[in-house]
Amino acid sequence: MYNACMSTQKTTEQNEAWIAPSILAADFARLGEEVENVLDAGADIIHFDVMDNHYVPNLSIGPLVLESLTRHLSNRPGKALMDVHLMVKPVDRLIGDFLDAGADFITFHPEATEHIHRSLTLVKEGGAKAGLVFNPATSLEYLDHVMELVDMILIMSVNPGFGGQAFIPASLNKLADARAIIDASGRDIRLEIDGGIKTENIAQAALAGADTFVAGSAIFGSADYAHTITAMRRQLQHN
């Protein structure tokens, strides 16, 4: 079980915390406005969930929507970072499309590609940051031979496919394990948690080593995005 002594695995070099609203929970009829609203409310990066009704039992949005969003946001000062979470199989065919559409991070599930090293390389050669996503029952051993290509590790705290599911507590142990792997590597790798994150449990995830926090329903389902993001950040400051 996760316990308090694991907090010693959190190092002083840990990246600053990023809050990443998942637009899966946004109002798609007003998507551009919704994304602007969460950015104005203090979001650090936008989490863009891509589901294909094959790797996961749901269908969401693709590169055309990302391209429209990137264009819509281009008049804002500073680049709005786009964190593309691919829940698709196969993976490689879509990487180029998402690079062209403006992805800054592209993460995918190792089980969904035949050649993990090749897929990571495609992302990096395209100029984006690359990451692997681990389902609740997927082993971190997939990292063993590709750490030099990884810029982000995403730990799923729900089974992928739907927003609004309950946080799986065992993912805290997995976060702590991933944090130890990152620290041992000495590399600058973001550790992201995705699924069921709310103001009430975000501090636990941070204590276990996460530095990037996806939240869909907790933010877009709230009446005041700035209030919710500020409340989450306040929880993180107490760590």
Is 198 an interacting residue with respect to Zn ion (CB under 5 A)?
Answer: no
Structure letter (DSSP) for residue 163: S
| 82 and 46 Cβ atoms separated by less than 8 Å | yes
Q: Is 49 one of the catalytic residues?
A: yes
Q: How many residues sit close enough to ligand DX5 to count as binding (CB under 6 A)?
A: 22
Q: Is 27 one of the catalytic residues?
A: no
For residue 17, what are the CA distances in angstroms to 55, 93, 197, 205, 219? Answer: 30, 32, 14, 11, 16
Q: Which stretch binds ligand DX5 (CB under 6 A): 7-15, 114-122, 124-132, 190-198?
A: 190-198
Q: Which stretch binds Zn ion (CB under 5 A): 105-113, 116-124, 172-180, 194-202?
A: 194-202
Q: What contacts 206, CB < 8 A, 6 or more positions away?
A: 10, 17, 213, 235, 236, 239
For CA atoms 116, 146, 129, 165, give the dihedral sign. Answer: positive
Least Å distance between CB 48 and ligand DX5?
9
Q: Could you say which residues in the range 70-109 bind ligand DX5, by CB under 6 A?
A: 85
- Is 160 or 209 the residue whose CB approaches Zn ion more closely? 160
φ, ψ of residue 115 to 5 degrees: the values are -135, 90
Residues in contact with Zn ion by the rule CB under 5 A: 49, 85, 194
Residues in contact with ligand DX5 by the rule CB under 6 A: 22, 24-25, 47, 49, 85, 158, 160-165, 194-197, 214-218
